[in-house]
Structures are given as C-alpha cells and as structure tokens.
Amino acid sequence: MSGSTPWPPWLQVAAAGLLFCGVVACDETPSRQAADARMTSDVAAVATVCGDGVRGGTEACDGQDLAGRICTTEGFAGGTLACGSDCALDTTGCYMCGDGVVNGSEACDGTSLNGKSCQSEGFDSGTLACNVLCQLDLSGCRIATCGNGQRDAQEPCEGADLGQQTCTLLGFDGGTLTCDSNCAINTSGCFKCGDGTVNGQEQCDGSQLGGATCKTQGFQGGSLGCTATCTFHTAACFKCGDGVINGAEACDGVKLGGKTCQSLGYAGGTLTCKADCTLDATACQSSPKDAGTPDLPPTDAGGTSVTRTVSYVEPTSLAGVATCSTNGGALTNLDHTTIYYKINKGPDVTAAKVSATAPQGGGSISKQITITGLSAGTNQVTIWVTATSSTQQESDPACSQQVTLNVP
C-alpha cells in the first residue's frame, strides 16, 4: 500500500497478499447486514415471476419462451419440447430411438413393430425384427421362390435385379439400394433426413451432430441442435453481442442483468455494457462510500481523516467458508470486491466497492480510500477486502488476511 504517508514494507507486502475464501458470508456486522438488506431489495426489484411468459433469472423457460431450445438441443432425436408450470423444460414430448415407442421417422422401436410383420411386408413367412436405427430388419423374413435365379412377381428383388427400384423411388434422399439373400430390398445404403445418421449434404440428423458444437459454429457456448431439415439449429447458442446475458457474461448490449450504478455502490449515473460483455461503470458517479464516509457517523465529531491506497489481487476461486481453505472451485462469475475498514473496535465501514476487471478474477487492483472519524492520538485501523460473485455470494472476511494500521 502507498499514500500520503508511506506504509512500512511489511505492511505493503501483507496488503498485496490479501486472501479470499468462502462462497457464503459468515457472521455479519450491523453495517454488513444493512448492505445485505439493500442487496436483497435490489434483487427483489428485478425478480422474475414464473408464468409471466418471459424467461428470466434461473428459469430454463417460461411459457413459449424456450430460449431457442428444441428437443435435439437436449440430446433427443426429435419431438416437441415444452415448458412446465415450474418453468423447467418438459421433455415428455421428445423421443429417442430405443425408448420403445415408435415416433417420427422410426419404422419401429425395440420390440414395438408398429403392427407390422413379415407378411405385411410381402413375405411368405419368417420373423420381423427392428434394428438399432429403429428401422425394420427383414433378414428373418422368407419368400418361397427366392433363390431360383430370377425375380418372381412376389419378390421385391433377387440378386442384381432390383425391379428398377432406387433409394429415391422408395422415398429416401439418396444412397445405394441392394438386395439381400432372402430377396428383401436392403435400404441400409440409403439415407434420408430424419433417419438419425448424417449423410450426403446433411449437416446433422436428429441428435447426431457430427461432432459439431456451438463453438465450432462461431459461438461462445450454448446447446447446438438439428432442425427437421437436417441443418444446424443455433438459436440456443450464444455469443457476446447477441443481446442476451449467457454464460460468464455480466451484461450484453442494453441488458445489464438488473444492475445499476447504485447497485454497484455508486451514488448515481449510467451503467453500460462494454463490447466484451463486462460492465462499464465509467459513467457512474462516485458514491459517498467511495469518498470514505462511514455507514455510521464517527464517534468523534472533530475527528481527522487519512487517505490510503489499498492494493490487492482479485481471487480466482472462492474457497470453503467452514475451513477457510483455498481449494474451492474456479471462480467464473466475480462481480465486485468491497474494501472495508474498522477503527479501533468500532463498526465496520464500507469504504469502496470496486467492479471486477474480469469474471474469472486475477486482476491487480488499486483503490484509494479515505478513512474518516479518527480520534486524536493512536488509532488501530483494520483494513480487509471481500469478494462478491454475480449471484451475490460473498467471501468470508474472517478468512481474509487483515492488515492493521496505526494512524496517529
């Protein structure tokens, strides 16, 4: 730390190494409780209501607003995705080959043959089955005249004689037709959009995306799906600049996630969003807290003040509160850090709130604060910093390294 009065080297080192931990605040002082109450009020002001038809907050969907998702973005082969009354996705209308129910382009599914038999398919006898692609397996069916070297009237084919049939004449998009040894037309070399296999000019087919993801299509994340015409469905993908807050984005375009200059601790002004989808508070007006005014009036009306620069490194993880350990998960949604100080045994004072430089933390920050209400003589001033995520989870100050400064 540095300022109008230099701090000793040990104090500068200690301040630069302030530690963070925890994802939920522990014991809170009255001023911290008041801040929590204000935060709760801010959150309530932008709270979403399930059933209002507009997806927000933690809602996966709301009414017809499915955030661009369809059955294939959720890993199914097709069907109709819906939204439940609890604003969670309802996949009961989606289907997948192997679920035992014939749907979509499936000719069968498991033991369900959709009422078909070898005889219904033009054979004399045998046992019909269903393959893993949910298409009929005719290999167990038999025609009495099959094998005599010529295609008889009741035979779909024999040998190379396909009866002038082709994949396209049978309703497929393309491919190569063959004849099985039991004189059954073999369509395994044919393909059609909806058969669950990517072929020809298809980008995808059902849940089969050919290894493609939202990122391979130029997006930052999300769920890639496949349309009924076997082209990529990117409505559930997202990237910075699409006007919707997703992933680690703090904002996107005019969408600020309910945040304002005031909710970040400023007195007023206009909060905006940068091109990289991080908050831009440069047009916010400095708040009384940033000027160092304590939450509670100083006990000594004639007290003096001193200005100090607090330097610290933003955390890259939030660790467990109970043990004050440093093995917490990687931090991907840091919103801001707050600098506190306490004079002697007085109440905690919020000196400043500083917006995060990056959602994942790791930035080096310096902030000048003014400590007011100092009495004549020696004052024990304790300074510390806590971190707050975008979901308002705060690290525990008891787990942070605190620096004590004697200010005469």
The H or E element containing residue 295 is none
d(CA 298, CA 313): 30
Q: Are the CB atoms for 141 and 182 separated by under 8 Å?
A: yes
d(CA 34, CA 24): 16
d(CA 213, CA 394): 34
Q: Are the CB atoms for 324 and 398 separated by under 8 Å?
A: yes
What is the pLDDT, as a whole number, of residue 314?
A: 81
Report the DSSP beta bridge partners of residue 370: 307
What is the full DSSP assignment across 155-167?
A: -S-BTTB-TT--T
d(CA 318, CA 48): 27
What is the pLDDT, as a whole number, of residue 401?
A: 57
What is the pLDDT, as a whole number, of residue 112?
A: 95
d(CA 234, CA 230): 12
Residue pointed to by tokens 């009354």: 85
What is the pLDDT, as a whole number, of residue 399?
A: 59
Q: Are the CB atoms for 18 and 395 separated by under 8 Å?
A: no
Report the DSSP beta bridge partners of residue 309: 2, 368
Tell which phi-psi region holds residue 230, choosing left (phi > 0), alpha (psi between -120 and 50) or beta: left
pLDDT tens digits, the chain, 408 residues: what are they? Answer: 334 444 444 334 334 443 333 333 334 444 444 444 443 434 333 346 899 888 877 788 999 999 889 999 998 988 999 999 999 999 999 999 999 999 988 899 999 999 999 999 888 899 999 998 898 999 899 888 898 888 888 888 999 999 899 999 998 899 999 999 999 999 888 998 988 889 889 999 998 999 999 999 999 888 999 998 999 999 889 899 988 888 778 899 998 988 888 887 777 889 999 998 888 888 887 643 333 333 333 333 345 788 888 888 887 776 544 445 444 556 777 888 888 888 887 777 888 888 888 878 788 888 888 888 787 777 888 888 887 777 666 666 665 656 777 776
CA dihedral angle for residue 10, residue 358, residue 398, residue 340, rounded to 10 degrees: 70
pLDDT digits (tens, 9 = 90+) for 106-116: 899 999 999 99
d(CA 94, CA 74): 9
Q: Are the CB atoms for 40 and 25 separated by under 8 Å?
A: no
d(CA 309, CA 307): 7
In a 3-state reduction of DSSP, which class is residue 143?
Answer: coil
Residue 30: which residues within 8 A CB-CB, separation 6 or more? 347, 348
Q: Are the CB atoms for 368 and 2 separated by under 8 Å?
A: no
d(CA 247, CA 12): 36
Residue 179: which residues within 8 A CB-CB, separation 6 or more? 156, 157, 158, 159, 160, 161, 162, 185, 186
d(CA 292, CA 306): 10
